[in-house]
Amino acid sequence: MTTTMRAVEYEGAGGPEVIRLVTRPRPEPGPDEVLVKVTAAGLNRADVQQRRGVYPPPPGAPDIPGLEVSGTVAAIGRDVSGWEVGASVCALLSGGGYADYVVVPVGQLLRVPMGIGLVEAASLPEVACTVWSNLFMTAGVTAGDWVLIHGGAGGIGTMATQMVAAFGGRPVVTAGSAEKLEYCRGFGAVAGIDYREEDFVERMREITDGHGADVVLDVVGASYLERNIRALAIGGRLVVIGLQGGARAELNLGLLMSRRASVTGTTLRARPAVEKAQIVAEVTEHVWPLVEAGTLRTAVEARYPLEQVVEAHEHFDSGRHTGKILLTM
């Protein structure tokens, strides 16, 4: 096995021009880790935010971007059991996915679902774990709930829409064009709101006959805060998982109290390994069977070889993409 590998690093902060493909030493797995030979890596907004200098890796995480991969087990730490060299896997990471090899804590390793190709499997760990942990473990989505999903045409949005529908909820999405809204309906959205042309608070009231959203999954942040709370039903839950619209906003506590609502902010990347392992275990139990049954499907729009990582980021930055973009090794 080679002692070096290709990897991506960012030379400073900025646009795709700061991306470099370099040679790094191949990592070695620790006692509770597995070394994965990467077949494909998912490109996520967190990678772009890291490139821009606004979302640094958490302490102890690799500086190499990439929060999810698929591939094969290349080596196993001495305390690891239940996995074999050569097994097809995918994994949730704190970083390091844009490389030929990556070490993974064993609790963050998942088998590739039956019926899903090895490359395609790289599109699943981050979105499945993000959606399950936020909508189901945190917000407690149940059958009948109206769930407003911002950014419905993206990787998280398409998985959230499918998962809410699969568990009996009613997903409503926002997106920036009629074409993207039609795309979202293909994943089970019961209604769509064009945020460029429509007021999502008013539209949510109309769609739900005045009830409002039992849960809002928000990737925008500050600029949407008050409107998100106004869109909530009585007892509604707002879960903020992104800050595309800024990090600071004034919160109208009177409005929050009148809704008897709650606001939760979460990140997945910086959670302790034990928490990630619990999320992965629940995803394996509750989500993977739905993937294998075809109830939940992947949403891969484009694949780029690692050598074209700059073009992949340019594609993402354009805002025209839907679903997931993958890098292949």
The pLDDT of residue 228 is 98
For residue 142, name the pLDDT band (cuts at 50, 70, 90).
very high
- Alpha-carbon distance of 207 to 201, in angstroms, equals 10
Topology annotation, domain 4-124+269-328: Quinone Oxidoreductase; Chain A, domain 1 (3.90.180)
Residue 321 confidence (pLDDT) above 90 = no
pLDDT tens-digit map of 14-55: 999 999 999 999 999 999 999 999 999 999 999 999 999 999
Comparison of pLDDT for 319 and 71, the residue scoring more: 71
pLDDT above 90 for 319: no
Examine the pLDDT at 266 and tell me if it is beyond 90.
yes
pLDDT of res. 4:
97
265 sits in which H/E element? strand 262-265
Rounded distance, CA 50 to CA 131, Å?
Answer: 21
Closest alpha carbon to 225 in 192, 184, 189, 264: 264
Burial 180-203 (b: 16+ CB within 10 A, else e): bbebbeebbbbbbbebeeeebbeb
Residue 274: predicted pLDDT: 96
Res. 175: pLDDT tops 90: yes
For residue 79, give the amino acid letter.
D
Using 50, 70 and 90 to split pLDDT, how confident is the model at 263? very high
Confidence of residue 320 (pLDDT cuts 50, 70, 90): confident
pLDDT tens-digit map of 50-108: 999 999 999 999 999 999 999 999 999 999 999 999 999 999 999 999 999 999 999 99
Q: Return the domain boundaries, the chain.
A: 4-124+269-328, 128-265
For the chain, the average pLDDT equals 97
Closest CA to 296 of 164, 98, 174: 164
For domain 128-265, the question of CATH label 1.10.300.10 is answered with no
